[in-house]
Structure 1
Amino acid sequence: MKKAALLSTVLLGLTACSQGVTTMTDRTSSPCGDKPNCVSTQDNREKYQLAPFTITNDANIDAIENAALQLPGAKTAVKEEGYIRIECTSKIMRFVDDLELKIEGEQLLVRSESRVGYSDFGVNRKRAEQLRELLQADNLIQ
């Protein structure tokens, strides 16, 4: 019985830690840190790097947001001119990852990072590639 109570306490603690960041600076231009839980179009290191997202003439921040909100567990946390931060919450443990998108010239800067933990087991890269497919299907990127 004590083990079950301890496990419940730990799981609740982990879930609480991953929730509710109300303020966060725009990190789309920043490379990822050294933990394997982040991918970015602005990082030159192979294991963190995403191929560029070149936008089309039809692309705008509203259309990009609509595509991104089709990702599992996605909700808009911040939307400013040319910038969006989407929070993607996992189903089971309720961990939150931040997907940041910013239009800069003809490029869409993309950065997806886990808030907690060391490794994301490839979840952020998978999310970024799902986003790429959604944006291509809507003719928002080339």
Structure 2
Amino acid sequence: MKAPFALFAAAIMLSGCSQGERVMAKKIDQMCGDKPNCVSTLDQREEHQLAPFTLKDGVTLEQIATVALTLPGAKLAVEEDRYLRIECTSKIMRFVDDLELEQQDNQLIVRSESRVGYSDFGVNRKRAEQLRNALNDAGLLSK
């Protein structure tokens, strides 16, 4: 009985380690797939939909990045023009989720998705709402 559990645990740990450095495709404009491990401000399906992030006038991408990088496990992976991709790594299993942000005028497009697995147990939605609260606390969001 212990051997199957040990094998399962080892496989999970190795899959977390195997994520390594990857070149990730930009998915900010894509709808989430059918798995419950993704949320987006562009997706209209209830299980994936995030409420809009409306920015105050004059907010810069640098200000957004500063706030977003305070999220747990966050590391800047890509910054270009009005786009950020932040890799968020979980503490224990070291799973990597991609948080993508794109500033379009006074709207912040937000997409957060797990790289592996089926369900994320609500982690990406929680992260997006943590970002919303942090941006609001920093005075960057319109009410």
Whole-Å Cα distance in 1 between the matches of residues 60 and 88 of structure 2? Answer: 21
Deviation string for 1:20-60 (max 9, x for gaps)?
22x22321111100000000000010110000001112311
Runs of 4+ in 1 over 3 A off after TM superposition: 1-9
Give the CA RMSD over aligned residues: 1.7
On the 8 A contact 2:13/2:93 being kept in 1, the answer is: no
Number of the residue aligned with 2:137:
137
| CA displacement at 1:2 relative to structure 2 | 5.5
Deviation string for 1:76-122 (max 9, x for gaps)?
00011110000000011000000000001221000000000000000
Number of the residue aligned with 1:76:
76
SS in 1 for 2:34: coil
- What TM-score results when the alignment is normalised by the length of structure 2? 0.91
Percent sequence identity over aligned pairs: 55
SS in 1 for 2:17: helix
Whole-Å Cα distance in 2 between the matches of residues 6 and 47 of structure 1? Answer: 33
Number of the residue aligned with 2:63:
63
On the 8 A contact 1:58/1:139 being kept in 2, the answer is: no
- What TM-score results when the alignment is normalised by the length of structure 1? 0.91
Corresponding residue pairs, total: 141
| CA displacement at 1:5 relative to structure 2 | 6.2
SS in 2 for 1:132: helix
